[in-house]
Amino acid sequence: MEMSEAKVVGSRKAGGRIATWLAIVCMNIWVPVMMIVATVLAIAAFPFLAAVWLLVTDWPLGKIMRHFVWLYGRVWLWIVSPFVRVEYVGAGAKELARPAVFVANHLSFFDIYFLSAVPAFDVVIFVRSWPFKLAWYAPFMRLAEYPDVERLPWESITESSHRFVGEGHSILVFPQGHRSRDGQLGRFHSGAFKLAQELGVPIIPICIKGTDRVLPPGRRWLAPSRVRIECLEPVDPSAFQQELGHIKLRKHVKKLMGACLAGN
């Protein structure tokens, strides 16, 4: 009887491994093909759609482009949905409509795509230089007014940030500056927290979990996962106006995010 049970358990484990690898193979065929199709169609349709949006919404081109980037991310969520279960927890679109500085941990190349689960599209993403080297993305990133924070001086970044917030837009910063190699929160840089204090807008922490299993740094193939995106309660930077307040604000936000990521 024990031998028979052991064979059943072993068979189930083997079947589970086969199912997992079949899912991985299917995912690595389906997702790249569909992303190429979606990207080509999006680029081809952009001039027409942009003209329609300009007529219907009266938005400036930068806001329209940010809306398209968000919609592109929503298409990504649909493409990966057979393999990745995405859960969003947090405030709704109405609560997130006011200007804020969003700060998120960073686990995967696809984090920006998964962040389209957050119901806020008018967000200027601060990015590093390397995405501007991708010819099929760079023009649209410039149209969306995403700053290249590695090339621009701090004075230019703060000047642009004042304009963004003054026009009613929010800002998204990855304070770690790069993807985590071990899934843990790394050192936070202070720029986002200085900006929040200078701009007088709240910090909204975003906790990302599970995208490192989809595609962590250094791996070339995708894998199924469960992804959770959670917006925490806004943090008022005016409560940290004492000397070196931005450092205390940074530590406070990191502590909140660490507790969130450890508890889910």
pTM of the model: 0.90
- Residues (pLDDT < 70) of the chain are 1-16, 264
Cα angle 152-156-157, degrees, rounded to a multiple of 5: 80
* Residue 213: per-residue pLDDT: 93
Tens of pLDDT along 97-126? 999 999 999 999 899 999 999 999 999 999
Question: Burial level of 187, CB count in 10 A (0-12/13-18/19+)?
Answer: exposed
Contact status, residue 140 vs residue 68, Cβ threshold 8 Å: yes
* Residue 9: per-residue pLDDT: 43
In whole angstroms, what is the distance from residue 228 CA to residue 115 CA?
Answer: 10
Amino acid at 141: M
Total number of domains constituting the chain:
1
Element (H, E) at 89: strand 84-89
Which residue range is the domain that position 141 belongs to?
Answer: 2-263
In whole angstroms, what is the distance from residue 96 CA to residue 122 CA?
Answer: 10
Tens of pLDDT along 15-42? 568 888 999 999 999 999 999 999 999 9
Helix axes of 2-57 and 61-80: crossing angle, nearest 10 degrees: 160
Q: For 207, which DSSP code?
A: E
Find all residues with CB under 8 Å of 150, minimum gap 6, and list them: 128, 129
Amino acid at 30: W
* Residue 223: per-residue pLDDT: 95
